[in-house]
């Protein structure tokens, strides 16, 4: 086989068990399930950071967020950071990105917003309030996604190079109110497109659905999922006319909330047919108890992306809508794969599918994400399909940071210094994976933002939360639903100490080797 093409499909907020090939008996995902049936399904694939921007930067660089420093949404990936797509492009690959990037913020907010002034002390000037000078974020290069979201660059694909991508057609934001190249495309097809968008323009619906859900007036043919499918097919068709391998990243914005599957996908699943997670109702940490208490007191707005409490009816309704979004993505994947076959390139293309993170999905009575590292959020689907690969299921641990090394080696290219991941086909499995998360700003009465550090091994998940004075330990073999927190159990003391040592060693192993030191002969 000559140097292969790569079709890299990324979903947004898709947990592993929301696909048929991972055991879900309700959701219909025949095209994605077909990929799993023809290739390798990784059963223990975990994120390095369960938030969009940080983990997408981990994916591009093979580096932990504590190293690439994009530790929260809104902090752009450094333009000087080497990405695996840079390496592919340098070695002759035609590189494209269609859909969500989220390597930069696309709202008007500037990245640095969390400095808290002490009224009793004189603060430093704005440009010196952070360990990195604010000027690092200045200049148009760090605002490309913002400019595209505003329409400034949306008329034509951006082709000046973007983290290694030579061709970019971006979809920013989520649900039915996406911006960027998708919005420009939709308005050309229907000039009144904005009159269809948003909750205020929603269609009537007879059934209660829950928070952050509305029946969009946007038809499926104008929705962002279809735009991504159409433009990806065009890119593949054009690539078939060139004597050059391609790397195409197809990045869907669904099934991320709000919940707005269009057309037939809105009612594709009956909430009555959706089983509740087996962990529903189990409260295992003080932080989760606080989330539910705030909701019970009427003080949880249930907006944004933070863990959102739901009752049984709401959980089933929102999961039904999530499944509708997933089935729409699956149909789009089917169209893209059909184009690969029509263009005669299926036999020389590696197809990879994963997600930037999962979703709490009703586990323990909450939806969405942030500061709760249950399996539904941190475990993601990962499929790898290429001609000649025997179908298999792998249960070894892999991380987001492993993708760059694995893809580059499959292309016959040496990874760059500083990439922390392994080739998950040829390198030995680690004894554990580290997952990081840092809140954006301190909570009242706290000097530091709350944080989590998690270790996942074959049989356990241990999470430390230094600021809130609670931690977690679950025996995943005996308690896969994570209902019994063993951290303070006397009988778990030895196991806890062993896991602590593994965590420390893994964190030491992932200290950066970049920049390279001077060579001393």
Q: Where are the alpha helices (DSSP H) in 386-492?
A: 403-410
pLDDT interval class at 442 (50, 70, 90): low
Q: Is the dihedral of CA 38, 233, 246, 97 positive or negative?
A: negative
Greatest Cα-to-Cα distance within the chain, rounded to the nearest angstrom: 76
Residue 267 DSSP one-character state: S
Residue 279 lies in a domain: yes
Domain presence at residue 95 = yes
- 414-431 average pLDDT score: 96
CA distance 318 to 308: 11
Dihedral angle over CA of 364, 369, 370, 371, nearest 10? 30
Residue 172 pLDDT grade (very low, low, confident, very high; cuts 50, 70, 90): very high
Q: Cα separations (Å) of 87 from 59, 122, 226, 517? A: 14, 46, 30, 21
Owner of token pair 């993170």: 357
Does residue 413 lie in a domain region? yes
Which residue matches tokens 């440009």? 127
SS3 call for 463: strand
Residues in the chain: 521
Mean pLDDT of 498-521: 90
Long-range CB contacts (within 8 A, 24+) of 177-180: 178/224, 178/253, 179/106, 179/148, 179/149, 179/150, 179/151, 179/154, 180/106, 180/145, 180/148, 180/149, 180/154
pLDDT at 444: 47
Average pLDDT, integer, range 114-122? 83
Range(s) of the domain holding residue 285: 5-116+136-420
CA distance 453 to 237: 44
Supply the pLDDT for residue 209.
93
User: Does 448 reside within a domain?
Assistant: no
Percent of the chain topping pLDDT 70: 95
Is there a domain that residue 432 lies in?
Answer: no
- 30-38 and 312-342 helices, crossing angle to 10°: 60
Q: Using an 8 Å Cβ cutoff, are 416 and 82 in contact?
A: yes
> Does the pLDDT value for residue 457 go beyond 90?
yes
How far apart, in whole angstroms, are the C-alpha atoms of residue 182 and residue 187? 9
Q: Which residue has the higher pLDDT, 478 or 520?
A: 478
Q: What angle do CA 249, 98, 425 make, to 5 degrees?
A: 5
The answer to whether residue 409 is domain-embedded is: yes
206 pLDDT more than 50: yes
Helix residue ranges per DSSP H, 368-435: 375-378, 403-410
**Residue 85 CB: number of other CB atoms within 10 A?**
26
Read off the CATH number of the domain in which 35 is found. 3.40.720.10
Strands 366-367 and 308-309, sheet pairing: antiparallel
Does 156 map to a domain? yes
Inter-residue contact 474 to 485 (CB < 8 Å)? yes
Q: For residue 320, give both structure tokens.
A: 């039904």
Asked whether the CA dihedral 296, 479, 501, 43 is positive or negative, the reply is negative
Instruction: Indicate the pLDDT class of residue 73, thresholds 50, 70 and 90.
Output: confident
Residue 226 and residue 262: Cα distance in Å, rounded? 11
Query: Which among 29, 11, 23 is positioned nearest to 480, based on CA atoms?
Result: 23
Which two tokens mark 455? 């270790």
Asked whether residue 139 carries a pLDDT value surpassing 70, the answer given is no
b/e code 327-354 from CB counts within 10 Å (16+ = b):
bbbbbbbbebbebbeebebbeebbbbbb
Q: What are phi and psi of 200, to 5 degrees?
A: -70, -20
CA angle 355, 15, 461 (to 5 degrees): 105
Is there a domain that residue 244 lies in? yes
Are 417 and 513 a contacting pair, CB within 8 Å? yes
Residue of 109, 24, 39, 50 lying closest to 357 (CA atoms): 50
**pLDDT band per the 50, 70, 90 thresholds, residue 110:** low
Q: What is the pLDDT of residue 446?
A: 54
- pLDDT-based confidence at residue 75 (cuts at 50, 70, 90): confident
Query: What pLDDT sits at residue 439?
Result: 77
Least confident residue range of 17-21, 56-60, 437-441, 471-475: 437-441
DSSP readout, 20-66? GGGT-SSS--HHHHHHHHHSEEEEEEE-SSSSHHHHHHHHHHS--HH
The angle subtended at Cα 76 by Cα 157 and Cα 127, nearest 5°, is 130
Q: 388 and 420 in contact (C-beta within 8 Å)?
A: no
Average pLDDT, the chain: 93
Please report which confidence band the pLDDT of residue 469 belongs to, taking 50, 70 and 90 as the band edges.
confident
State the Cα–Cα distance between residues 55 and 253, nearest whole angstrom. Answer: 15
Rounded CA-CA distance 275/271 in Å is 9
User: What's the rounded mean pLDDT across residues 395-408?
Assistant: 98
Domain count, the chain: 1
């Amino acid at each position: 086989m000559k140097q292969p093409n790569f079709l890299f499909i990324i979903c947004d907020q898709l947990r592993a068990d929301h696909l048929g090939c991972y055991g879900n008996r309700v959701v219909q995902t025949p095209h994605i399930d077909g990929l799993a049936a023809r290739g390798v399904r990784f059963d223990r694939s975990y994120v390095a950071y369960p938030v969009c921007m940080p983990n997408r930067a981990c994916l591009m660089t093979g580096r932990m967020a504590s190293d690439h420093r994009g530790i929260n949404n809104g902090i752009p990936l450094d333009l000087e950071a080497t990405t695996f797509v840079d390496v592919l492009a340098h070695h002759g690959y035609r590189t494209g990105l269609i859909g969500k990037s989220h390597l930069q913020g696309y709202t008007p907010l500037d990245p640095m917003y969390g400095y808290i002034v002490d009224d009793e002390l004189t603060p430093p000037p704005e440009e010196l309030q952070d360990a990195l000078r604010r000027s690092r974020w200045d200049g148009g290069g760090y605002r490309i996604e913002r400019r595209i979201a505003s329409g400034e660059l949306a008329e034509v694909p951006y082709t000046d190079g973007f983290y290694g991508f030579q061709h970019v057609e971006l979809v920013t934001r989520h649900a039915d109110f996406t911006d960027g190249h998708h919005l420009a495309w939709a308005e050309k097809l229907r000039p009144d497109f904005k009159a269809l968008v948003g909750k205020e323009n929603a269609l009537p619906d007879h059934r209660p659905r829950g928070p952050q859900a509305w029946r969009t007036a946007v038809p499926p043919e104008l929705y962002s999922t279809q735009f991504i499918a159409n433009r990806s097919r065009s890119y593949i068709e054009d690539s078939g006319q060139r004597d050059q391998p391609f790397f195409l990243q197809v990045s869907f914005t669904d099934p991320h909330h709000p919940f707005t599957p269009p057309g037939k996908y809105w009612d594709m699943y009956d909430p009555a047919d959706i089983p509740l997670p087996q962990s529903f109702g189990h409260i295992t940490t003080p932080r989760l108890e606080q989330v539910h208490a705030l909701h019970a007191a009427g003080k949880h707005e249930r907006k944004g992306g933070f863990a959102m409490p739901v009752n049984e009816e709401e959980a089933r309704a929102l999961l039904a809508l999530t499944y509708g979004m997933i089935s729409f993505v699956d149909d789009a994947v089917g169209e893209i794969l059909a184009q690969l076959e029509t263009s005669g390139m299926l036999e020389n293309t590696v197809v990879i599918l994963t997600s930037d993170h999962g979703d709490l999905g009703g586990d323990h009575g909450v939806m969405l994400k942030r500061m709760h590292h249950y399996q539904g959020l941190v475990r993601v689907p990962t499929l790898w399909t290429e001609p000649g690969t025997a179908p298999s299921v792998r249960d070894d641990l892999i991380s987001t940071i492993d993708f760059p090394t694995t893809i580059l080696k499959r292309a016959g290219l040496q990874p760059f210094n500083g990439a922390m991941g392994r080739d998950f086909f040829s390198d030995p499995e680690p004894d554990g994976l580290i997952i990081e998360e840092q809140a954006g700003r301190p909570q009242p009465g706290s000097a530091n933002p709350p944080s989590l550090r998690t270790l996942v091994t074959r049989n356990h998940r241990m999470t430390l939360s230094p600021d809130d004075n609670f931690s977690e330990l679950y025996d995943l073999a005996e308690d896969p639903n994570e209902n019994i927190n063993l951290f303070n159990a006397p009988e778990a003391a030895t196991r806890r100490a062993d896991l602590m040592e593994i965590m420390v060693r893994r964190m030491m192993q992932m200290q950066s080797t970049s920049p390279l030191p001077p060579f001393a002969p």
